[in-house]
Amino acid sequence: MIKGQKSVKNGIENFLCPFTDMYISQGSNGSYSHKGIMANDVRGKVAGIRYPYYAPCTCKCLKLYPKTGQVMWQSVNKVRFANGRIDYATFMTAHDNTMDATVGLIVPQGNKLGNMGNKGFSNITGIHCHIEVSQSNDSTWTKNKYGNYHFNNEYDLDDCYFVDNTNILKGMSGNWKITGSTNIEINNNVSNESVDQILHIGSKVKFDGIFKVDILKSPISSNLFGCCQLTGCTLNDYKSENVKSYHWIPLDDFIEVDKFGSSINQDDIILGGESYVLNKNIYEVKAIDVKTNSAKLILNGKDIWIYSTFLYET
Ligand SMILES: [Zn+2]
């Protein structure tokens, strides 16, 4: 992000990468001080310069650790993360030599949050900002078996922040996403106040968007399709039988549309790799799998797991 940048969709702030230039000098589970934790050390374009970083969302200062220039922040409201989750963000920044945060301070999204530095235990890795993010409002901070502190609900940073306007100088092969590439539309007819967008057992959900059918199960009469976007399986993986548990989706409740969502002139003949489909039904969530961030729905009498990113609560 750049100074002053804001990013809000449907009343929910998108959680942004706080850095304008991102050169990761130590990644998640790094061999030194990141063993067993999902933290990144980020420096700017030129090593040794105390570049500023900005508030990834509107956030409040919860705690200060002056000896190490560490600050614990928490979003004021729930935010949207790069993996599509909507929840509170609790995050730590460290090594700011000129730390001027105070407990209770609220910093609006886009305003300056601090400066990269080397306060604390960062003499080995030079001037940087250490950052780690929990996708929850749990601010518990515990020590792991390697002696490194971490949050309970940490996610890898590429699942946390959108990198709109961030120059990625060294991204450590992260799957960095921008807001435009993430399926984050929600139904404008539904009041944001009535739902929290966090799926639970019993939540009523709809499929969010138009999906491309990637393969059809043979024999075709079984009337099931696979979609790499919905299932996370690529066609090559499927063909080479690398997929252990492919979540086939029954076609019955889907209608054929063009890629803009119009059903006019569609012939209902579904072709793998070509056809687009849409599902307007409402389903009840029967189970949640936190590890894969999936929800179990019953489609046409079958148990189907769908990534919750592709669903929205109604
Ligand atoms: Zn670090």
* Sequence-ordered alpha helix ranges (H) in the chain: 228-231, 235-239
8-state DSSP, 217? P
Protein residues near ligand 1, an ion, with CB under 5 A: 41, 130
What is the structure's pLDDT at 234? 60
Residue 28's closest CA among 16, 45, 42? 42
Residues 47 and 163 in one domain: yes
Categorise residue 200: left if φ over 0, alpha if ψ from -120 to 50, beta otherwise. Answer: beta
Q: How far is the CA of 163 from the centre of ligand 1 (A)?
A: 20
Give every residue of the chain whose pLDDT is below 70, as ranges: 121-125, 181-198, 218-222, 228-247, 291-293
What is the structure's pLDDT at 168? 93
Alpha-carbon torsion, ordered 248, 254, 256, 261, to 10 deg: -110
Residues 289 and 220 in one domain: yes
Residues 133 and 211 in one domain: no
Q: How far is the CA of 166 from the centre of ligand 1 (A)?
A: 20
User: SS3 for 205?
Assistant: strand
In a domain, 187, yes or no: no
How far is residue 84's CA from residue 210's CA, in Å, rounded to a whole number? 16
Residue 247's closest CA among 201, 205, 289? 289
Residues 171 and 234 in one domain: no
DSSP track, 272-292? TTT-EEE----EE--EEETTT
Token representation of residue 275: 């056809």
Q: How far is the CA of 76 from the centre of ligand 1 (A)?
A: 25
Residue 258's closest CA among 268, 250, 248, 243? 268
Q: What is the pTM of this model?
A: 0.59
Residues 142 and 230 in one domain: no
The total number of residues shown for the chain amounts to 314
Q: How far is the CA of 34 from the centre of ligand 1 (A)?
A: 6
Q: How far is the CA of 94 from the centre of ligand 1 (A)?
A: 8
In a domain, 34, yes or no: yes
Q: How far is the CA of 32 from the centre of ligand 1 (A)?
A: 9
User: SS3 for 137?
Assistant: coil
Cα-based distances in Å from 264 to 259, 261, 271, 275, 311? 12, 9, 17, 14, 24
Q: How far is the CA of 17 from the centre of ligand 1 (A)?
A: 16
Q: How far is the CA of 290 from the centre of ligand 1 (A)?
A: 27
Residues 131 and 66 in one domain: yes
* Structural domain harbouring 80: 8-181
pLDDT in tens, 61-107: 999 998 889 999 999 999 999 999 999 999 999 999 888 899 999 99
Q: Among 150, 181, 212, which residue terminates a domain?
A: 181
Question: What total number of domains does the chain contain?
Answer: 2
In a domain, 195, yes or no: no
Bond prior to 18 in cis (omega within 30° of 0): no
Token representation of residue 54: 């900005």
